Amino acid sequence: MADILNDKRILLVIGGGIAAYKCLDLIRRLRERGVSIKAILTKGGSEFVTPLSVSSLIEDKVYQDLFSLTDEAEMGHIRLSRENDLILVAPATADLMAKMACGIADNLATTTLLASNKQIMLAPTMNTEMWKNPATQANIATLKERGMLFVDPADGDLACGEVGTGRLAETEDIIATIEAFFLSKIDGPLRGKKITVTAGPTHEDIDPVRYIANRSSGKQGYTIASKLAQLGADVTLISGPTNLATPNHVKRINVTSANEMMENTENTLPADVVICVAAVADWHVKNAGEQKIKKQNGEFPALEFGENPDILKSISNHVTRPGLVIGFAAETENVLDHAKAKLDKKGCDWIVANDVSGDVMGGDDNQIHLITNSGIDTWPLMDKNSVAAKLASKIEEYFKE
């Protein structure tokens, strides 16, 4: 995949965060991959890295001043905003994103970004409370609606001494996102394939305050959707309630209940592939309270349960059944036996089985058994991103065959 970056032109906008120093390593690694880089160094960014250090690494001049007569005569902010394949803002500070969301153009960076007709990618970094602030999240939502791509910040120790979300993404993660963007512009192996992925839990109301749910974080489904999109597929992610960011190049539909997930999954048909990763609640409360159910002097409310739709079985037997239907089996005992029985009962093509008796739900690792009519393929324990990549590769092989 490294060759995808050769001869690409990237405009790097270096924002005013302490993580600006990481851009020096980012520049070096991009240059190793054959990327030609122009750079805008903001006033804040220059407090952390010098123009000379950036210029030495990109082997070109660094642009800083909107009102530089020489720079405007030689390049101009309009040409600077247009003569690149991608604009990367790293680090993207809360202030810089707020100005972008409001269309403010009071310096070279914001003017160039506002004047650009190229894809813009942002790698934010800031204090965790700034990141979680509703104003910042609203600005991010606005920028995403306008088609801007994001490399989400990582969790960990922050420069301010606090711990939380807000660290600049690792260099390799930023480069991987850039590679995925350029890969999506060429004919990937799954180009033209329409794929639906369900992910996360469902919530079934007991009353307006309480609900039945499970511990699914949605991480595995989201990584699968992301990997498929990187291979060029047209991916729709139908997600129960999660705290995860929408993967790049993925259409996301938010749902709450199993019935909503069933309806929206059917609405995506016809499709080439449906992957039911979501941990759907088996039951709903038929007599859910319209108001909050109060304590009843030691008596317990009589909850009447009804069975939820079986999304996997319904899609497997649908009149517009996809060519490939994949289900997930989250088990706590007799994993293989239960998974093989599920394959027969549901009528799907593959079952991805895993033991969730540990910390798989919400954790970062997973151990998979891929069960088909041809047999069982047991994969080693790996992180969920690697599981997603391996499953995406299997789907690619399916279409080749």
C-alpha to C-alpha distance for 295 and 168, rounded to whole angstroms:
48
- The enclosing H or E element of 329 equals strand 324-331
The residue among 362, 338, 365, 363 whose CA lies nearest residue 352 is 338
List beta partners, residue 40: 13, 63
Q: CB–CB of 221/283 below 8 Å?
A: no
DSSP letter (8 states) at residue 209: S
| Tally of CB atoms within 10 A around 87 | 24
| Cis preceding linkage at 270, omega within 30 | yes
Q: CB–CB of 44/15 below 8 Å?
A: yes
Query: What single string gives the DSSP state of each residue in 162-204?
Result: -EEEEEPPPHHHHHHHHHHHHHHTS--TTTT-EEEEEESB--E
265 CB burial (10 A radius; 0-12, 13-18, 19+): buried
Structure tokens at 146: 């306008």
C-alpha to C-alpha distance for 157 and 288, rounded to whole angstroms:
43
| Tally of CB atoms within 10 A around 100 | 23
Which residues are within 8 A (CB) of 141 and not within 5 positions of it... i.e. 6 or more apart?
none
- Which of the residues are catalytic? 160
The CA-based diameter of the chain, rounded to the nearest angstrom, is 81
List b or e across 194-216, with b for residues whose CB sees 16 or more CB atoms inside 10 angstroms. Answer: bbbbbbbbbbbbbbeeebbbbeb
List beta partners, residue 253: 238
Distances (CA, A) of 136 to 113, 125, 158, 179: 18, 11, 18, 27
